[in-house]
Chains A and B, each alone.
Chain A
């Protein structure tokens, strides 16, 4: 007697919801990222116009000059949705907290040369205000942007920038026995020290930039794309070369986060530019217009941090950034 085991394969008639199948094709499986982002943006049947902007709808694609057939195409290559993003950031925070405990517990910053401590006080700590500006700007994009891929990603980016601001604050505090007066001193530099004024002017103007995609280019590409390499790469190397390797430990998150975020920013720019020549020219125009301001803001700070070698350092950083733009299909 033989027992014949047969398997009956029952295939699902549909792989997913219709709106996802429309974008992906009939037989492909969407990822959780697609499910969490595509088709989320309300587009029709708004009940009233905003009282604060009655010529537009509550959610309105015309709040930017960028035109997309489907704003859902501005996807994040990291495929972050709330679950994966919190898990990833949680891991990074655990690692960074251990670093802070290690450095604080053994007083590892105490042995740093006073001159370098002063550089960190004057050049790094006030950067918390730049990071806070970045937090505010990404909040704006999350609020006025269009399409869940960009508004979700910028909302997560907004929280990341707040995290950066908090870590910068803690570095400043660890340097000086957690004395909060040091933060007041950094605020005074931000408000009235000559080398900080061009940067402060830039950040304040960014906070009144109305086109949310222009702001994306200015904040997430130009400002972050120059400030982070300056502080957490070029300056970091100088500090390390002068006995301050612990500074690197305390800014581990910023270094990792910048590399990861750059991939997202570049992918968004690339996709928006690929949509049409008009989009591409808009983005190129914004880059051309804002880059001199960004360079001007960095120069006095870079000169201070790197003993007069500001110009060549900033030029190098901007060249690297323009190379990124080139890879995204932009002619800059």
Chain B
């Protein structure tokens, strides 16, 4: 439990492609949905991949767009143009 990382996004239509991409790319992800916010917990490491989001959203996507719908996150962050990684001990 203490090793979980999490990301919380607004539960709005614009953010659904990102949420779907995270669920697809992180097999250990547990999704907690509330009317306003989706909190995704994951043991150890969670990755948001630009390519997967682009497949879901149907257009070019800049990973920095994540911040528009980001509520909070827990973990250390390592990011480049293709992956936004949340993990402990980076």
A interface residues, Cβ below 8 angstroms from B = 9, 29, 31-32, 76-79, 260, 263
Contacts and interface: CB of A to CB of B under 8 A. Distances in A.
Given A32-B13, A77-B58, 12 more contacts: A9-B34, A29-B13, A29-B16, A31-B13, A31-B16, A76-B58, A78-B58, A78-B59, A79-B57, A79-B58, A260-B59, A263-B58
Q: How large is the interface on B (under 10, 10 to 19, 20 to 34, 35 or more residues)?
A: under 10
Contacts of B13: 29, 31-32
Contacts of A31: 13, 16
B31 to A, nearest CB: 12
Q: Most chain-B Cβ atoms within 10 A of its Cβ — which of A29, A31, A263? A: A31
Interface of B: 13, 16, 34, 57-59
A9 B11 CA distance: 15
Contacts, number: 14
Contacts of B57: 79
A77 B34 CA distance: 28
The 6 closest A-B pairs by CB, nearest first: A77-B58, A79-B58, A78-B58, A78-B59, A32-B13, A31-B13
Contacts of A260: 59
A29 B58 CA distance: 17
B29 to A, nearest CB: 17
A299 B35 CA distance: 59
Contacts of A78: 58-59
A77 B58 CA distance: 5
14 contacts: A9-B34, A29-B13, A29-B16, A31-B13, A31-B16, A32-B13, A76-B58, A77-B58, A78-B58, A78-B59, A79-B57, A79-B58, A260-B59, A263-B58
A79 B61 CA distance: 14
Contacts of A263: 58
Contacts of A77: 58
A32 B57 CA distance: 12
Contacts of A9: 34
